Structure 1
Amino acid sequence: MSRHVAIVTDSTAYLPRAALERHGITAVPLTVVLGDEALEEGTEISARSVAQALQKRTSVTTSRPSPQTFAAAYDAAARAGANGIVSLHLSSEFSGTYDAAVLAAKDAPVPVRVVDTGMVAMALGFCALAAAETADSGGNLDEAVAAAEKRAEGTSAYFYVDTLDYLRRGGRIGAAQALLGSALAVKPLLQLTEGRIELLEKVRTASRAIARLEEIAAECARQGQVDIAVHHLDAAERAESLAQRLRERVPGLRELHVSEVGAVIGAHTGPGLLGAVVSPR
């Protein structure tokens, strides 16, 4: 799609392929390093492969895109007719992706506004969609950025994981919090807060934790029109069940996306992840 304002994000937004194509959004891939092999998220490695590697205790790490990769994306957008670019990325607390985009933006052929959304997964994806919809309607660069930032401000993301160990290994949650969860044999509920993953509640069993995740998401979505995303890693049945219950409980539901997270997020959460993203319109 040709427009004056182009939207760039990264592969951790986990936007459906149809949405990327419909709005002309470019998703720059992060890299997953499996053992000694570097693979691009979304094209060269699946979340299922990461889940299997983690279960076998194979070394799995992730890395940001290079500034050169972003520069190529910005050049392509400019050649396609964009006179401005909004580049929206996962929290800088998790990755150097934002920093790489900022470096590339300095030499881009058109103005680039790089935004650290403080989000990840479809919490980031909804921000990209908000910016794209504004651009599709003829909005300018400032208006597209404002739409994304407003969406980020209102969006909440909650996650259940079977263990905090993977988050601890990747440095995404403090060792003390991870140790507390293990010592008490609890099932953790997590929240995305100010760009960081924080321990929200400790629940005694997986079934109770998932029920509590549903309660929190439904309460968060109780007013107005909202979009919801349900994410999982190697837990499709849990995700479909949660999605169905939220369809029944949220009267203002507009869109509901159910998807497995990609390899990058999967590498840090481990199999069994279940997440709910609530994003008011």
Structure 2
Amino acid sequence: MNKEKIAILVDSCCNVPQEFVDKYGMYVIPLKVLYKDREYMDGVDITAEEVYRGLEKEIPKTSLPSGEHIQKILDRIKADGYEKVIAVTISSGLSGTNNMINLLAKNYEGLEFFVLDTKNISIGSGFHAIQAARYLEAGMSYQAICEKLEKEVMNCKVFFVVETLEYLQKGGRIGLVASLFGNALHLKPIISCNEDGVYYTVAKVRGRKQSISKTKELALQFAGNHKKYNVSIMHGDAAALCEEIKQDLLPKLPHMDVFVSDQVSPALGVHTGPGTIGICIQVLED
């Protein structure tokens, strides 16, 4: 345990890979995946593959973890001897998890909390938790880490493209994307989160191949001439395409530090559907 007894808490949609969860002893709050006859905990008792395979029969819903479940995780953190918590969540503009943790933290005795609204999604949120753990490992103080994380929120960007907007629309997560498209044939939006943490359209191109190409181009532009950055390529039931993008993209990113490539969590898969590709760049130094 670190000298200030600081725990790191994330929600499951931050998509922090298990290797980092294990390495840094992070605590994970799973969101819920809800079917008509049963509910599951995101990434605990249901996999993304199971969600995708069942989409033809039923598109499930997702929901926040219960307050009771979060309370139990906080109790475990306290019982494990921690005194402070750095909680990292996906955008409050996309999920109520951030607000729920804030509310519980205000009335929780025995732990000091810093709750970061990343204004982002998936590993675009998770990278902040990974960096918090690395800063902690390097001996940075609790206050310094909290201040640094706040400053770094806008230094991280996810660009993603979906096979179809159907799942974002049905899940109510379409944000500022829907009004721009109507019924335009084969028009594919490249989507990101704006400064309020809401989905918006970064670019519009025609066709799947062009949309992937544009997503790579936007990621490279965001990395620019920066001297250090973390990189991730995430996918939804598109492992082969993800590997193809990796082979093309990584040689063009010579200053990469941490690299993450994985499938999005089941709860995110519900809202984005199969065929999703996302590229994330977190700039660390100019």
TM-score (norm: length of structure 2): 0.92
Give the deviation of 1:48 after TM superposition: 1.1
Query: What does residue 89 of structure 2 align with?
Result: 89
Amino acid at match of 2:173: R
Amino acid at match of 1:19: F
Query: What does residue 229 of structure 2 align with?
Result: 226
Give the deviation of 1:225 after TM superposition: 0.8
Amino acid at match of 1:149: E
Superposed counterparts of 1:1-281, under 5 Å: 1=1, 4-54=5-55, 56-108=56-108, 109-174=110-175, 177=178, 180=181, 182-194=183-195, 195-223=197-225, 224-281=227-284
Identity of aligned residues (%): 30
Work out the CA distance in 2 between the residues paired with 1:198 and 1:114: 24
Flag structure 2 segments of 5+ consecutive residues without an equivalent.
none
Work out the CA distance in 2 between the residues paired with 1:161 and 1:260: 14
The answer as to whether partners of 1:35 and 1:59 remain within 8 angstroms in 2 is no
Amino acid at match of 1:49: E
Structure 1 counterpart SS, 2:237:
coil
The answer as to whether partners of 2:175 and 2:199 remain within 8 angstroms in 1 is no
TM-score (norm: length of structure 1): 0.93
Q: Given the superposition, is the C-alpha separation of residues 219 and 134 from structure 1 closer, same or farther in structure 2, using an over 3 Å criterion?
A: same
Q: Structure 1, residues 237-276: CA drift from partner, whole Å, max 9, x if none?
A: 1111111211111111122211000111111111110000
Give the deviation of 1:57 after TM superposition: 4.7
Structure 2 counterpart SS, 1:173:
coil
Structure 2 counterpart SS, 1:118:
coil
Amino acid at match of 1:251: P
Structure 2 counterpart SS, 1:257:
strand
Structure 2 counterpart SS, 1:91:
coil
Q: Given the superposition, is the C-alpha separation of residues 176 and 243 from structure 1 closer, same or farther in structure 2, using an over 3 Å criterion?
A: closer
Flag structure 1 segments of 5+ consecutive residues without an equivalent.
none
How many residues are treated as equivalent by the alignment?
Answer: 280
Work out the CA distance in 1 between the residues paired with 2:183 and 2:237: 21
Work out the CA distance in 2 between the residues paired with 1:145 and 1:211: 36
Give the deviation of 1:176 after TM superposition: 7.3
Q: Given the superposition, is the C-alpha separation of residues 175 and 134 from structure 1 closer, same or farther in structure 2, using an over 3 Å criterion?
A: closer
The answer as to whether partners of 2:191 and 2:200 remain within 8 angstroms in 1 is yes
Amino acid at match of 1:74: L
